[in-house]
Chains A and B, each alone.
Chain A
Amino acid sequence: MTQPAISVRNVSKRFGETLVLKDINLEVPRGQVSCLIGPSGSGKSTLLRCMAFLEEASAGMIEIEGEPLGFSEKDGKRRRQTAAELRRTRSKIGMVFQQFNLWPHMTALGNVSMALRRVRGLSRKDAEERAMAQLVKVGLEARAGHYPSQLSGGQQQRVAIARALALDPTIMLFDEPTSALDPELTGEVLNVMRALADEGMTMVVVTHEIGFAASVGNNVCFLDHGQLLFHDTPEAVFAAPRHPRLEQFLDTYLDRGAQMLR
């Protein structure tokens, strides 16, 4: 079997007294779109943030393409990695946030070229050339000189995707990428993500867009109360929900859709 892009082994996460992730085991296959769904507070965002080491798992190990992330394991004990080790493993990951998190004092082009210049050491000209190519890819070359405050939410999120892609990650993590957007702006972001999926990018997407999960996702994970209840193909998860919590979650979602039609 080929090595998974991300492997999550026995990961638990505790915030004080609350256990938000309970012994999660998950393998994210390469070249596929894996969607994490579940009610709010189910731990899906926390799990995604653990995959980027923005949250430290309280127990367990996460490996990115076989390399341990954040902690190394030796004789069954976890050791915190050095900053350099962490940065090296993390360089395979691109992250897209719910709130876009573009740097407000830089233009779109500045945001995308920043790390190319300061981290990868490219000259200004080369960095901007590559950044521009990424902006073209998300259809925003005409907005290169705009500051985030001059862009719509959907445009900001597309710049954020370009910024992550500019560093040539092999895995892209999306943390509710459309939740902060007006409904009419979600489409443009989902389209960019769909195109990325078609190119074979490994993607992990925390989302409430069940339609996206069903049509683009290769596999769907359903989390509830910190537990991974299901991990299967979208057909298996959505066509015949077997678990009462999943049924309830999908019902609520469908209800919401139905209410809009009334």
Chain B
Amino acid sequence: MTWTLFELLLQASLMTIFVSVTSILLGLAFAIGLSAMRMSGIGPLVWFARIFISFFRGVPLLVQLLLIFNLLPAIGISLSSLATALIGLSLCTAAYQAENLRGGFEGVPRGLIESAEMAGLSPVQSFIWIRTPIALRLTFPALVNEAILILKSSSLVSVVGMIELTKMAQNLAASTYMPLPIFASAGLIYLAINWIVAIAGRRAEAALPGLPAK
């Protein structure tokens, strides 16, 4: 195990971080949209959200990635590996985050929505300025958890041709015949990243002002 090999792993981990962070944020935006659809009371939107969530939660991410990778070119859309990876990961995490958020939205005390209504906020304004920020705060620990899961699941995007931390480790192990130190290093890098995410999450949680009284 040389420093050069370790450096290659660190470089590849940047791709892991980039893919994960982008997917988490895109997924969060989609999840808020899905929650809005689910709570809209408009039949087709509610059903779209439900079917979307049950598909992306019910089918393994690996299968989803392979489906997207093979399906889109078949209907004439060619996407780069990176785009495929980002779409797959963010849609999958969107489904999980939407379910987390549902609990958060249900936890927003009714009185806070009533006071928004009395202040003249429209339902959309109330959703944007009152309900969503409170739901996000209520579900923040679940969001950190999801971020850690996605960081680890991002190893699956190697099947669509992405070279991230796990794939790089596999390549290096195959070419150097040193699987043990290389995979151990990769594992340590994952551990370090997730450790930072967990600590940052706890810090952020403590700094977030005022949750509604329990």
Interface residues of A in 90-147 (CB under 8 A from B): 90-91, 93-95, 97, 99, 101-105, 107, 114-115, 118-119, 147
Count of chain B residues with a beta carbon within 8 Å of a chain A beta carbon: 25
Determine the main DSSP class of B at the interface with A.
helix
A118 interface neighbour in B111, B125, B134, B209, Cβ under 8 Å: B125
- A70, CB-defined interface residue at 8 Å: no
Nearest A residue to B116, CB-CB: A103
CA distance A223 to B208 in the complex (A): 44
Known contacts A101-B114, A119-B125, A148-B210: A114-B119 contact under CB 8 Å: yes
Residues of A within 8 A of B122 (CB): 83, 87
A115 interface neighbour in B112, B121, B123, Cβ under 8 Å: B121
B118 interface neighbour in A52, A102, A105, Cβ under 8 Å: A52
CA distance A95 to B123 in the complex (A): 18
Q: Do A115 and B120 touch across chains, with their CB atoms under 8 A apart?
A: yes
Interface residues of A in 38-54 (CB under 8 A from B): 52, 54
CA distance A119 to B130 in the complex (A): 13
| Nearest CB of chain B from residue A181's CB, rounded to whole Å | 14
Interface core residue of A83, A101, A102, A160 (most chain B CB under 10 Å): A101
**Chain B residues close to A by CB (< 8 Å):** 109, 111-112, 114-123, 125, 129-130, 133-134, 137, 208-213
**Chain A residues close to B by CB (< 8 Å):** 52, 54, 83, 87, 90-91, 93-95, 97, 99, 101-105, 107, 114-115, 118-119, 147-150, 160, 163-164, 167
Given contacts A93-B118, A104-B134, A119-B119, 4 further A-B contacts (CB under 8 A): A94-B118, A115-B119, A148-B210, A163-B115
30 cross-chain CB contacts under 8 A:
A52-B118, A54-B117, A87-B120, A90-B118, A90-B120, A93-B118, A95-B114, A95-B115, A95-B118, A97-B111, A97-B114, A99-B109, A99-B111, A101-B115, A103-B115, A103-B130, A104-B211, A105-B133, A105-B208, A105-B210, A107-B209, A115-B119, A115-B120, A118-B121, A119-B119, A119-B125, A147-B210, A148-B210, A164-B118, A167-B120
